[in-house]
Amino acid sequence: MFLVQKRRICSVIELKDGDAFDTKKSEVEKDHLEHFTQKFGTQIPFTTQYYVCCFNQNDKEQIKIGFKNKLNEEHILTGRELCDLLKIDYGKIVRTRQADAESNLRYFLEELIKIEGVREKLIKSLRV
């Protein structure tokens, strides 16, 4: 996601649902964001900055810990902060996602049991 603000700042934001990551992936993701922001920044007449947004975590310290302390708090956004930046209703998004959770789970399970062998294994495990 790119967010261009009036002060000639372009924010590169990686949006994530969760907040716990593999150590190697944490460092690589941070490095990719830094590299992209630096390279991209030389191509446009804006100051560039990057963030990782863990939408479902409201505690920046927990995001930092989940990223194995590879990110400083200045590069971390919560879902609420992202919504504030974009001027959208955080509560409405959360409510919509909660309302969709049941149908999403049902769809996932329906698709899962279509996979050869999965249905039989599930039935077998339920008999135990």
Contact yes or no for 12/50 (Cβ under 8 A):
yes
Query: Considering only CA atoms, which of 26, 110, 5 is closest in space to residue 75?
Result: 26
SS3 12: strand
Assign 78 a pLDDT band (cuts: 50, 70, 90). very high
Buried b (16+ CB within 10 A) or exposed e, 56-84: ebeebeebbebbbebbeeebbbbbeebbe
pLDDT at 18 over 90: no
Beta strands 2-5 and 9-16 are antiparallel
Q: What would the mean pLDDT of 11-37 be, rounded to a whole number? A: 83
